[in-house]
Amino acid sequence: MTALDLRPAAPLLRRAAPALLGYALVRALGVLVLAVWSAAHGKSAHTLLSARWDSLWYVRVAELGYGYEVRLPDGDVHSNLAFFPLLPWLERAGAAVTPLSYADAGLLVGALASLAAALGIFAVADRLHGRGAGLFAVLLWAVLPVGIVQSMAYSEALFTALAAWALYAVLTGHWVTAGTLAAFAGLTRPIGAAVVLAVWAAALVPYARGRGRPPSVRWGNVGAPRGAFARRRALGMLLAPLGAAGYVLWVGHRTGGGVRGYLDVQAGWGNGFDGGYAFARFTAALLTSFPSALAGLGLLVGVALLVRLYVGCVRQGQPLPLLVYTGVIVVLALGASGYFGSKPRLLMPAFPLLFPLAVALARLRTARSAPVVAVLAAGSAVYGALWLGGSGPP
């Protein structure tokens, strides 16, 4: 499916309808529980979803443009240049063509993007493992403990939608579409590099996991002239990094920091990449006393589970671009040196990690799989309300 050929859209939507309905129900449950909890505690669910933490920064970019910053007593500078521009652009566009405020336009963009992400996740999982796996991949993504972020005016849902469809385009051999979507993903979040590297890996290793078959067979476009295929692949590779590279270079020019300008902006927020050293120290510190040791053990279990899931993806034989995409996201999330509480949210776009579990659930009878999903959905809704009403996503 390309931007010019939408004929496969209707069959895909029909196949994905149960998954999209299930996704919408799970997210509606999460918002409903949040609304009930907020009313009981004198808070506004609408404010929690649209006008706190990063949502406020995105709205400021949409309303005022770049240049806003906050100087902290310790000398650190929080600049809105840290926030990539695609979501604010869409918020501004939404507010321009509707009566919505910037914040409410962000909620609308998030809602539509989450549905697009769910459909993209289904499309990838369905192509690789069948319709049942696609259904459960979407439901598992919906019931993540921090799944409430998918209903917020945050950029995770938008990024996941672009990434999922870029990966689907790679799997079906539509390189220009893949490169274009990768470029937009690079305008959405810093981890857009994961999508770029996935496209490059698939293009530069055309025979990977193809058992010697030419790329036109492995990645779609069967029957396409080899020269035309090579040109489209090269164009896709060229397009993929333009979004991320363009914004990072623009920030460097604006700040006068050159190629390090964006890294300096992130450093003002206390963000960086140290390969996981700071996270390891943070976890070790938790283990030295009680009851924080329980949280430390939980983190160790969580990291071990991530590793186990990634190994499961490899054993499952996932295509190279998915393994590269997921691996880069996991490394960047765990290796970041700041905002340790944000790591579950940063890992949310790594949806291929859910495929081994989705395949396992698809093999169960409905009488067994349905209660599992229901319990996870209820737990996610309750946790989301408590989390968002408490510390929340920074």
Whether 1 is covered by a domain: the verdict is no
User: Taking 60 as the threshold, does the pLDDT of residue 117 lie above it?
Assistant: yes
Whether 370 is covered by a domain: the verdict is yes
Whether 76 is covered by a domain: the verdict is yes
pLDDT in tens, 277-289: 989 998 998 888 8
In this prediction, residue 64 carries a pLDDT of: 94
Question: Which of 32-46, 120-134, 331-345, 359-373 is least confident?
Answer: 331-345
Task: State how many domains the chain has.
Answer: 1
In this prediction, residue 62 carries a pLDDT of: 97
pLDDT in tens, 311-352: 999 999 999 999 999 999 999 999 998 877 889 999 999 999
pLDDT-based confidence at residue 228 (cuts at 50, 70, 90):
confident
User: Taking 60 as the threshold, does the pLDDT of residue 236 lie above it?
Assistant: yes
End-to-end alpha carbon distance in the chain: 37
Mean of pLDDT values over 165-189: 97
More confident residue, 10 or 108: 108
In this prediction, residue 327 carries a pLDDT of: 98
CA proximity to 152, closest of 362, 351, 394: 394
> Across the chain, what does the average pLDDT equal?
91
Mean of pLDDT values over 106-122: 98
In this prediction, residue 209 carries a pLDDT of: 46
More confident residue, 291 or 246: 246
User: Taking 80 as the threshold, does the pLDDT of residue 393 lie above it?
Assistant: no
Whether 327 is covered by a domain: the verdict is yes
Whether 394 is covered by a domain: the verdict is no
Whether 277 is covered by a domain: the verdict is yes
State the angle between helix axes of 366-389 and 355-362 in degrees (0 to 180), rounded to the nearest 10: 140
User: Taking 50 as the threshold, does the pLDDT of residue 222 lie above it?
Assistant: no
Whether 8 is covered by a domain: the verdict is no
pLDDT-based confidence at residue 5 (cuts at 50, 70, 90):
very low
Mean of pLDDT values over 43-55: 94
Q: Alpha-carbon distance 374 to 139, whole Å?
A: 10
User: Taking 60 as the threshold, does the pLDDT of residue 120 lie above it?
Assistant: yes
Q: Alpha-carbon distance 86 to 76, whole Å?
A: 26
Residue-number span of the structural domain to which 378 is assigned: 15-389
What is each CA distance from 308 to 108, 302, 350, 357, in whole angstroms? 35, 10, 14, 11
In this prediction, residue 6 carries a pLDDT of: 41
Q: How many residues does the chain have?
A: 394
